[in-house]
Amino acid sequence: MTEAVSIESQGSQLMVYTRGAGTPLVFLHAAVCDSRMWARQMAHLSNSYRVIAYDRPGFGESPPRTFASSSIADVLNVLDGLGIAEPAVLIGCSQ
């Protein structure tokens, strides 16, 4: 079952979805979608990995930001917020 949590990053909240256990795989959605674009991949890969996807600011369930921010800081804050210290695999689309 997918767990949804809100994690603070750079002064706003990001909705994060995770399931499974093992090596963390972080899915980064395209600029025209939100984390739901990875639902099928997450369902399949969660049998062997800890899969993570989050809605970037202004997409899905994460509110927009009205100030400049860093996408890299968001990824790091998501990993920290989930207590992940080991290396993670990033899987992206677009941007």
pLDDT tens for each residue of 26-58:
999 999 999 999 999 999 999 999 999 999 999
Residues in the chain: 95
Report d(CA 6, CA 29) in Å as an integer: 17
H/E stretch holding 17 reads strand 12-19
Q: pLDDT over 70 for what percent of the chain?
A: 100
Pairing mode, strands 3-9 and 24-28? unpaired
pTM of the model: 0.93
How is residue 37 written in tokens? 């674009």
Question: Would the pLDDT of 95 be above 90?
Answer: no
Q: How high is the pLDDT of residue 92? A: 95
Average pLDDT score over the chain = 96
> Is there a contact between 50 and 21 (Cβ–Cβ < 8 Å)?
yes
Start-to-end Cα distance in the chain = 29
Report d(CA 38, CA 33) in Å as an integer: 10
Give 24's strand partners. Answer: 50
